[in-house]
Structures are given as C-alpha cells and as structure tokens.
Amino acid sequence: MELPSQYNAKEVEDKIYRLWEESGFFNPDKLPSRNKKPFSIIMPPANANGNLHAGHALVMTIEDIMTRYKRMRGFKALWLPGLDHAGFETQIVYEKKLEKEGRSRFKMTPEELYKEILEFTEANKTNIQTQVKKMGASCDWSRLKFTLDKDIVDIVYQTFEKLYKDNLVYKGKKIINWCPKHQTSLSDLETLDAERQDKFYYLKYGPFTIATARPETKFGDKYVVMHPKDKRYKDYKDGQKIELEWINGPITATIIKDDVIDMDFGTGVMTITPWHDAVDFGIAERNNLEKEQIIDFYGKLLPIAGEFAGMKIAEARPLIIEKLHSKGLVEKVEENYKHVVKTCYKCGTLIEPQIKEQWFLKMKPLAEPAIKAIKNNQIKIIPGHYKKIALHWLNNIIDWNISRQIVWGIPIPAKTCEKCQNIIIDTENKINTCPKCGEKDLIKEKDTFDTWFSSGQWPYATLDFPKGKDFKTFYPTDVMETGGDIIFFWVSRMIMFSLYNTKKIPFKNVYLHGLVLDAKGQKMSKSKGNVINPLDLTDKYGTDALRMALVVGNTSGTSLPLDENKIKGYRNFATKIWNAARFVLLQNDNSKLTKTDKKLLADFKKLAKEITKEMDGFKFYVASEKIYHYFWHTFCDKIIEDYKKKLVSYDLLATLLFESLKLLHPFMPFITEEIYQQLPIKNKKECIMIEEWITQ
RNA sequence: GGGCGCUUAGCUCAGUUGGUAGAGCAUCUCAUUUACACUGAGAGGGUCAUAGGUUCGAGUCCUAUAGCGCCCACCA
C-alpha cells in the first residue's frame, strides 16, 4: 500500500480512536487474559461547564501515558473517567451567562435555576467527552461517572449520615466567609488574600485610642480589649465598665483582657466586632461576650447604625468618619495603610465575615489517619516536597464549612424540627414526623454540599463502594494524578474520607503536575488573552505532537511553558516516524540477523530497560525524551542509513521499528497505532495498544 | 509572620546515593533531492545566582546572602 510522505493526523485520529473503542480494550474486563494484575487510575472529574483547556490536556496526556504503559505491561488497566457538576464553579459560569442575557438568578425560583443549569451541564457533558477523546484518552467510557449520578449521591449521603452519627458533623452558628455577591458562604480555601491600601483611623474610645480600617463596623463595639500583661493599662480591670461617647451617642463599654492582643501593634487596645471578624469572634467566644450583627448579608448597614442604616459600606464610611470628626473622636488618620483582606476566590468581592448557621465537619479526627498514611509513605506524593505541604495543612486543619447557599449541588439531606429543633438526617427524604417530639412541621434543609464534599469521596464512590466488584478489584487505586493546586481542596480530603469510610488509603501514589503556562511563562487567563486552546493545537499539529510537547521536559510539580515551536518540533518527529515506517514498509528483503545486528538489538534492549525503569519511576519526561532520541538519531540516522549501505539486515530494521513503536505508543498513540495496523508482522494483535511492552 | 520551591548554554529544562557539565529549540557552516526539507553531517556557546564551609574531589552536601515564584497565617 502506498503511504503519502506526510502523516495526516486529522484523517487518522478519529478513525484510530474508533478502532480502539470498538476493540473494547479500554475496558479492563475485555482485555486479553495475559492482563491479570489490576492497575487503576481514577480520572479527576472534568468540570462539565465549558471546554477542554490546556490543564485538561496535560491531565489526559499523563494519565493516558500511565494507563497505556501499564496495559502494555500486562496489567488489567482501568482508567475511570468522570464528570463533575462542579457546584459553585458551574453556578458562577451559568450566572455569568444569565447576566449577559440580562437575567439574574435572584429573580428565578431555585427549581427553575436548577433545571436550567442541569440542561446546560448535560449539554456540556457530551462536549467535554468528545474533547477528552480528541486527546486520545484510553479511559473506559462504559464506567463513566457523573458526580450527580444516583449511586454517587447515595454514597455521599451514607457518608454524611455516618459522619453525623459519629458526631463529626454538626450544625453551628459560627463565623464564616460570606460573599455578598454570590450570597453564599465559602470555606477557608475558597478565599484569597488581597493586599489593600486603605486609610487607617485612630479613634478616641473613652480613655483609649483604638485603630481601625473599618469604622463602619464599629457601631456595636462595646468591648474594649487589651493584653492582660500590658502595663500601660494595668489600672483597668477585666470586666470593668466605663462610660464613653461613641458614634451615635453615649454607651457603656466593658474592659476585656485577652492575650491574643499584640501589645506592640498600634496602641495595644482594640474594640471588637464579633459578628464581622474572625479574631473578634474568637475573643467573644472565649469570654462569653454578646455578638451583634452590624452589616446585613447584602453588605448594607443595619438599624444599629442609626442614621447610616441601609447604606452600603463604601458610601457610609466617609460619612461616618465625617461624623466622628465633628464629634472630635478622630485622633489621626494614617493615609496609606497596607493590610491584607480576604476576597472571594471567584469574583474578588471583599468577603464579609458573618455569623450564620452552617454545617461543619470536624476535621482533626479525620486528619489524623491521613497524616499517618502520608508520614509513613503509605501514600507517596510526587514530587516529594508536597509531602511537607500536605502535612503542614493537615496538622493545622480547622473545621470545614460544608454547606453552601447555592442551588446547583447535592442537597444536604437534613430536616430540622420546627418545634424541638431536633435535626433529622433523611437521606431518602421520607421522614415527615419528628421522631423526638412527633411534630409534623419539619423544615427541609435548603443548602447544598460544598462540591468537594462529594468529589472528596470520588475514589471509592466511582468504584461502587462498598460491595461492588470494581471496588474489590481496583481499590486502593494505584495513582491519583492531578494538579498541585488542589492538594488541599481535593487530594487531602480524598485521603481523609477514604480512610474514614473504607479504612484503606484511596491511592498509593499521588502524582502532581504543574500549571501549563503560555510560551512566555505567563499564567493563562482570559483577561490577558493568552489562553491556548488545546484543540486548536491538535488540529494544527496532531494530538501526538501536542502530547509530546506536554510531557517531554515536564517534571512533576513544575509549571510548563507551552511553546508552539515545541509542538511543531514534535509534529516534525511524527513525520519522521511516518517516513521511517514508510521506508521500512517499502523494502522487499528477507535478510536475517547478523552478529552486528545482534549487538545493535542488545543495545536497544538495554535502552528499553532504562526507559521501563523511568516509566516505573514516573519519569515520563525522561522516558519520552530517550525514545525520541533513540528513534530519530539512532534508528533513523544510523540504522536506516546502515541498512541502505547493506551493513545491517532487514530483520533488524523491522524488529527495531516494531519495538520502538511500542515504546512510543503511550506517548504518541495515534501515529504508532496507524503504522502498526500496516506492519507485516506475525501474531499481530488487533492493535498495538495491547501489544507487549517489550518482546522478550 | 511562618513555610516551600527555583536560580545550569540565547530560550525551555534534565542532571536519582558527590567523580571535572547534558537534551530540545534557537544560532552558524556545509551537504543534497535520498524514506523524510516537517532532511542529513558538523560547529559555536555555560567561572552550574553570590560568598563561605565539608571533602582527595561539589551543579550535586552544609551555612549565609540576593533575586524570582508559590503556599499557609485571626495583627485590629
């Protein structure tokens, strides 16, 4: 058959992917009998709210490499794909869409909103699957899971109920991060620190001077706090009352001594606003102080602010200062005070801490076994320095707010009795009477789970824990490959939930990749306009070329600048492979192995062993580079040239081509498969995908 | 305020228990229409951030300094 001189990726890729899918070998149950020992990777579920981005392309490439390698090594390899409803993230994407259409989620019923987002997500599920396939992912689509599938939700509910029974879940009125724009609470991981320059006001508070950047919170301040050991204030006793003139008239303040106060900061005295500040909340809790809400959930001042009630903070602040000035309560104003504030990680809106009843998960008891498993390397983290990062976080873990005031998510399966406030966990939504007092008025929880509460259970939920066949075969999984940026959000929580629920680690290895950056090493972002769409690149250069560009020279945990020139280089390599194969296929020759040939074959086997070692050590960047180098500069430049000079046999040529193609296959699956399909070899299998990694 | 990572050829990066520097891309020279010009042969290019230390010997280990990047943190 006549092969064209250039490899046409576009024509080949869809055809080859179909061949693989039809072969059934993505499904470990359908692999040949030699594939016995299980190997498993659970794919980080892709958000079903948009398109495949460069980060996905990297995930798909690395995980596909691992899976294809293990499959060829004779493992019963499972790569289980998944899709994520991605609660908050998707709702934001959808809200932006609504905004563009001039609509708002606050003008819709929760049911309407849920229905629309569901439709949107369903449409995106197909879209993202098609794109994952474009990357050549050899995952088992027959096992595809979606985070809102009934069986997944059932497991999430069972876990929630178990946690509640074990007294690890509680409903509590605590200070939380509130995003006034999105109207939901956020966990501590979902806020970002932002440095701000604001005015810093020194205000007269009776005999004291207090400093604040937020005068608008000060209306209700009736506790003045200082360090018990501060000599300047030794004459004031804990609990002592003082009368003073404040913003809206005379008040009675109480002296509180608490050692959280930094004596060296400002005047060493501060007043507290427990409803809107986490530190102040802590002081109030410790000392049993009253708490009062000053700002409502939309960021407007409440009636306690008197004449300022109903105003937004930004407009109220200068007016409040003006009034304080007129009353002679402003001592001085520092102009450029630098301080750090919390913002919503999605919209950048200033977080307004609020006290609100939320569901919390006690983390310390869950973290302990996880710490142990990481410490003793039961779970190995690659690269190694992430071990410390994970341990540090786990050692300092605080209770996790798992409830969100958004509709797009898994509803928290709980009800509260109107009469006796009894909390009922009702995973099947069947209970209509309070088992404690018989009351029929039960209030159904409106909040949904933080999306990580469900995705944190992904490794065992997808494998049909506890009784499924897959759970027994494939759990614990071998590798969790994901981005280093979600080690706290996701990886740590999977470890904790899994150890709690299954008593086993969820995965033996965690492989963390870095960020994919643009060619200049800049983070990709829509605002910078430097976002690279991986599908444009596969279209232009072929998927194999993109995959190579993503893996060669990319060490774990390090970010990777993606340069189009690099991809072009591997497109050239694909052409090289193509033409080398074309040359070999055109020969009409039966010459057998000679002594020199055997030496060359031994050299290759040595290299193959080295590459195998690198693959086992997760050093795909070395393995890919080695086979690249061998194929181009040894096989093509030397061996083919020697063959032309009749220095080596056809047998050697054909053998080395075949063996090299196999080593290349995990990295460049399409072109290697396409060539394999045309090779005139004995005992040919349906596809190279199930060939033996190294011929013994 | 704590912690972590990085600093090696023009660029992007390797360099696993210490033994006098590697790859890809880029550059330059030459070759030729050969399976492949998305080609071949060759060349140039690094006091391995800086300063000390350990050692027979350090890019590799230790200490300090600087620059860059990242993460965590309740200084009003």
Distance CA A42, CA A335 (A): 53
Cβ-based neighbours of A187, under 8 Å, separated by 6 or more: A177, A400, A401, A402, A450, A452
pLDDT digits (tens, 9 = 90+) for A260-312: 888 888 888 999 999 999 999 999 999 999 999 999 999 999 999 999 999 99
Look up the domain containing A617 and give its range.
Answer: 563-690
Q: Which of A239, A244, A240, A237 is nearest to A208 (CA)?
A: A244
pLDDT the model gives residue A2:
62
Q: Is the CB of A11 under 7 A from strand B?
A: no
**Measured from the CB, is A538 under 7 Å from any atom of strand B?**
no
Residue whose C-alpha is closest to residue A120's, from A88, A82, A91, A153: A91
Q: A320, A344, A368: which is the final residue of a domain?
A: A344
Tell me chain A's radius of gyration from C-alpha atoms: 31
- Residue A625 beta carbon within 7 A of nucleic strand B: yes
Nucleotides of B under 7 A from a protein CB: 3-5, 12-16, 23-26, 35-41, 71-76
- Check residue A335 and give its pLDDT: 86
Of A597, A605, A596, the C-alpha closest to A652 is: A597
Residue A690's contacts (CB-CB under 8 Å, 6 or more residues apart) are A23, A25, A31, A32, A35, A71, A72
Instruction: Say what the pLDDT of residue A6 is.
Output: 85
A191-205 sheet: strands from edge to edge: A208-212, A191-205, A330-344
Identify the CATH number of the domain in which residue A567 sits: 1.10.730.10
The answer to whether the C-beta of A348 is closer than 7 A to strand B is no
pLDDT for the residue numbered A196: 84
Q: Considering only CA atoms, which of A331, A327, A100 is closest in space to residue A204?
A: A331
Q: Find the Å distance, CA of residue A555 to C1' of nucleotide B14.
A: 9
In a domain, A214, yes or no: yes
Say yes or no: Cβ of A560 under 7 A from any atom of strand B. yes
pLDDT computed for residue A415 by the predictor = 95
Mean pLDDT of chain A: 93
Q: Decide: CB of A198 under 7 A of nucleic strand B.
A: no
Indicate the pLDDT class of residue A593, thresholds 50, 70 and 90.
confident
Does the CB of A598 fall within 7 Å of any strand B atom? no
Q: Which nucleotide is nearest to A617 (CA to C1')?
A: B16
Residue A421: inside a domain, yes or no? no
Count of positions (residues) in chain A: 696
- The distance (Å) linking the CA of A181 with the C1' of B69 is 31
Angstrom distance (rounded) from CA A534 to CA A540: 10
- Within residues 243-272 of protein chain A, the ones with CB less than 7 A from nucleic strand B are 260-270
ipTM: 0.93
CB < 7 Å to strand B — which of 144-183 in chain A? none
**Interval A491-505: pLDDT, tens:** 999 999 999 999 999
Mean pLDDT to the nearest integer, A345-356: 92
Q: Cβ(A45)–Cβ(A473) under 8 Å?
A: no
Question: Is the CB of A610 less than 7 A from some atom of nucleic acid strand B?
Answer: no
Residue A319 lies in a domain: yes
Tell me: pLDDT of A664 over 90: yes
pLDDT of A245? 93
CATH number of the domain within which A196 lies: 3.90.740.10
Residue A633 lies in a domain: yes
Q: How many CB atoms lie within 10 A of CB A310?
A: 12
Give me the CA A619–C1' B56 separation in Å, rounded. Answer: 34
Distance A386 CA to B4 C1' (A): 9
Report whether pLDDT(A388) > 90: no
- Asked if A634 CB < 7 A from strand B, the reply is no
Asked if the structure places residue A609 within a domain, the reply is yes
Is residue A100 in some structural domain?
A: no
Q: What is the pLDDT of residue A186?
A: 94
What percent of chain A is modeled with pLDDT above 90? 79
> Is A286's CB less than 7 Å from nucleic acid strand B?
no
Tokens 């065992």 — which residue?
A460
Between CA A327 and C1' B20 the distance (Å) reads 78
The neighbour count for residue A291, using CB atoms within 10 Å, is 17
Q: Which nucleotide is nearest to A211 (CA to C1')?
A: B76
Does position A546 have pLDDT exceeding 60, yes or no?
Answer: yes
Q: CA-to-C1' distance for A41 and B68, Å? A: 35
Q: What is the mean pLDDT of residues A27-36?
A: 97
Residue A604 lies in a domain: yes
CB of A524 nearer than 7 A to strand B: no
Q: Is the CB of A395 under 7 A from strand B?
A: no
Q: Which nucleotide is nearest to A582 (CA to C1')?
A: B35
Report the domain count for chain A. 2
What's the whole-number mean pLDDT along residues A571-581? 95
pLDDT in tens, A88-124: 999 999 999 999 999 999 899 999 999 999 999 999 9
Rounded, the Å distance between the CA of A610 and C1' of B39 is 29
Q: Region A432-444: what's the mean pLDDT?
A: 90
Examine residue A18 and state whether it is found in any structural domain, yes or no: no
